[in-house]
Chains A and B, each alone.
Chain A
Amino acid sequence: GDQVEQSPSALSLHEGTGSALRCNFTTTMRAVQWFRKNSRGSLINLFYLASGTKENGRLKSAFDSKERYSTLHIRDAQLEDSGTYFCAAAHANSGTYQRFGTGTKLQVVP
C-alpha cells in the first residue's frame, strides 16, 4: 500500500497568509525531503530532515519519525510560491531510495 500520503492535494492561499502541507507515513521513515517542482518540471530541494525542524526564510519543515509525519509550513505566501510541492521519504528498511507523495498544487492569489 501507499507509504506516503500527502495532503492537501490542492491549496489556494491569499498573498500574505500561510498554511501547512502534510505528509503522513504508513511506516517508519528514516528521513524526509521536500521539493518544489519548477516551471521546467524539475525538482528543487527545499529541505532534507532526518529529525526535528528546519527553517529557511518563509518556509519551515518538521519531521517526526516516531509519529510518522512531516509538515511544510509556508508563511506570508507570495505569488511566486505557487507551484507543486512534493515530499519524499526513505523507508527505514528499504535501503537507499525514497517514496514520493502525490504532491500538493499550491496557488497563491492576490
Chain B
Amino acid sequence: DTTVKQNPRYKLARVGKPVNLICSQTMNHDTMYWYQKKPNQAPKLLLFYYDKILNREADTFEKFQSSRPNNSFCSLYIGSAGLEYSAMYLCASSRIGQYEQYFGPGTRLTVL
C-alpha cells in the first residue's frame, strides 16, 4: 500500500481560529512532509519530520506547528488562521536515503 491519507479533505475555518490537519501513511517511511500549494504557484515546503526530528523552513517557522506521535501520523497545526492560509495542504512521505516522495490527496483549507 503506497497510500498517504489526509483528513479532512476539505476544511472551512474562521479567521483567528485554530486548524489541525492530519496525515497518515503505512509505508513505514522515515520522513513526512507538509507543503502549502496555492494556485499558479509551486508547492512550498513548510516543514518535515525526519523520524522524530522536526525541521521547519525559516519563513514559516512561527506560523505552523507539527507533531508526529508515531511513525505513521503527522499533523499540521495552525494556531490562528488568517485569510492568507487558504490553500491546498499536501502531505508527503519518503524513506531515508530515497528521495521519491508519495503525496496524499491534500486538504483544501478555506479561511473566512
Q: Are A97 and B33 in contact (CB under 8 A)?
A: yes
Classify the secondary structure of B's interface with A: strand
Residues of chain B within 8 A (CB-CB) of A95 are 50
Q: Are A43 and B31 in contact (CB under 8 A)?
A: no
Per-residue interface assignment for chain A, residues 36 to 62, with 1 indicating a CB less than 8 Å from any chain B CB and 0 otherwise: 000011111100101000000000000
Distance, CA A24 to CA B37, complexed state (A): 21
Q: Give the contacts of A1-59 with B (CB-CB under 8 A).
A: 30-31, 33, 35, 40-45, 48, 50
Number of interface residues of B (CB under 8 A): 26
Q: Are A45 and B102 in contact (CB under 8 A)?
A: yes
A interface with B by C-beta (< 8 Å): 30-31, 33, 35, 40-45, 48, 50, 86, 88, 90, 95-103
Those 9 A-B pairs whose CB atoms lie nearest each other, nearest first: A90-B99, A48-B100, A100-B42, A43-B103, A31-B99, A41-B88, A42-B106, A42-B105, A102-B42
